[in-house]
C-alpha cells in the first residue's frame, strides 16, 4: 500500500492519522526547500564553498525524501515503529547537516532564505519524531504523549507501553559502579575520568556510571 501525503483529515483523527499529518507537513516543507537549494547550486558557479554546501544539501534532501517515503509507505503501514523512528532520526540528521553547511556560507540573502526553510523543516520533523517516540511507548494512549524523555529525566525505555522501574536516575535493575558529580561525595568529577579508570578487561561485564546532575 502506498500512502499519499495530504492535509485533509476528519475531525476525529486516529493516532496514526495524526502522525501521517505531521509527516505530510514535513514532506510539504521539504518540497518547498528542494527547488530553492537547487537554485543556489545552479547559480553558485565560481564559489567553491557555496557549491560544495549546496551539493551536499541537495544530496541530503534527496536522502531525506527517501526516508520520508519509507516511513510513510513501508514502516507505518506495517506497524514497524522502531524502523520509522530510525528513519526519521536519519532524516533529521540530513536536515541539520544541510542547515549547518549553508550557515557556514550565510553571506547572501539567497543563502539565508533556504536556511529559514530548512530550520522550519527541522522543527516540524522534530515534532513528528517526538510523536513517533510517544506512539512507540504509549500506543494509542495519546493523553500520555509528551516530549521525548531521556535517561537524565529518569526515563529508561522498555518495550512498547512499558517503562523500566526507575528510582532517581538509575533503573533498579542496575547498580552503578562509579559516580560522577561536580560537587559532593563521588568517585570522579568528569565522565572522561570515570571512563579512563575503567578496567581494560571489561569484556563480558557492564560498567554502569551514575552521572549526577549539573555534570
Q: How far apart are CA 119 and CA 55, in angstroms?
A: 18
Q: Which CATH number fits domain 15-144: 3.40.50.150, 1.20.140.40, 1.10.8.10, 3.40.190.10?
A: 1.20.140.40
Q: For residues 202 and 14, which has the higher predicted lDDT (pLDDT)?
A: 14
pLDDT-derived band of residue 4, with 50, 70 and 90 as boundaries? very low
Q: Is the pTM of this model over 0.85?
A: no
pLDDT single digits (tens) 47-59: 788 888 888 989 9
pLDDT-derived band of residue 123, with 50, 70 and 90 as boundaries? very high
The structural domains of the chain, with segments of one domain joined by +, span 15-144, 175-215
Q: Is the pLDDT of residue 205 over 80?
A: no
With the CA atoms of 48, 54, 56 and 62 taken in that order, what torsion angle do they form, in degrees rounded to the nearest 10? Answer: -150
Q: Is the pLDDT of residue 1 over 50?
A: no
Q: How far apart are CA 162 and CA 137, in angstroms?
A: 7
- DSSP for residue 183: S
Pairing relationship of beta strands 166-167 and 178-180 according to DSSP bridges: unpaired
Q: What is the DSSP string of 83-143?
A: HHHHHHHHHHHHHHHHHHHHHTT--SHHHHHHHHHHHHHHHHHHHHHHHHHHHHHHTT-GG
Amino acid at each position: 500500500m502506498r500512502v499519499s501525503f495530504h492535509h485533509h483529515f476528519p475531525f476525529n483523527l486516529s493516532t496514526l492519522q495524526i502522525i501521517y499529518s505531521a509527516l505530510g507537513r514535513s514532506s510539504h516543507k521539504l518540497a518547498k526547500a528542494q527547488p530553492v537549494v537547487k537554485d543556489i547550486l545552479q547559480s553558485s558557479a565560481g564559489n567553491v564553498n557555496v557549491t560544495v554546501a549546496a551539493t551536499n544539501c541537495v544530496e541530503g534532501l534527496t536522502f531525506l525524501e527517501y526516508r520520508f517515503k519509507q516511513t510513510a509507505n513501508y514502516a507505518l503501514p506495517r506497524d514497524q515503529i522502531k524502523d520509522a523512528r530510525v528513519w526519521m532520526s536519519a532524516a533529521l540528521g540530513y536536515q541539520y547537516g544541510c542547515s549547518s553547511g549553508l550557515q557556514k556560507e550565510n553571506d547572501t540573502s539567497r543563502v539565508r532564505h533556504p536556511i529559514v526553510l530548512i530550520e522550519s523543516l527541522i522543527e516540524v520533523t522534530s515534532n513528528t519524531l517526538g510523536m513517533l517516540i510517544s506512539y512507540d511507548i504509549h500506543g494509542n494512549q495519546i493523553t500520555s504523549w509528551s516530549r521525548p524523555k531521556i535517561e537524565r529525566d529518569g526515563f529508561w525505555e522498555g518495550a512498547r507501553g512499558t517503562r523500566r522501574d526507575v528510582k532517581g536516575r538509575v533503573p533498579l535493575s542496575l547498580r552503578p559502579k562509579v559516580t560522577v558529580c561536580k560537587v559532593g561525595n563521588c568517585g570522579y568529577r568528569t565522565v572522561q575520568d570515570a571512563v579512563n579508570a575503567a578496567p581494560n578487561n571489561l569484556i563480558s561485564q557492564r560498567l554502569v556510571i551514575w552521572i549526577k546532575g549539573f555534570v
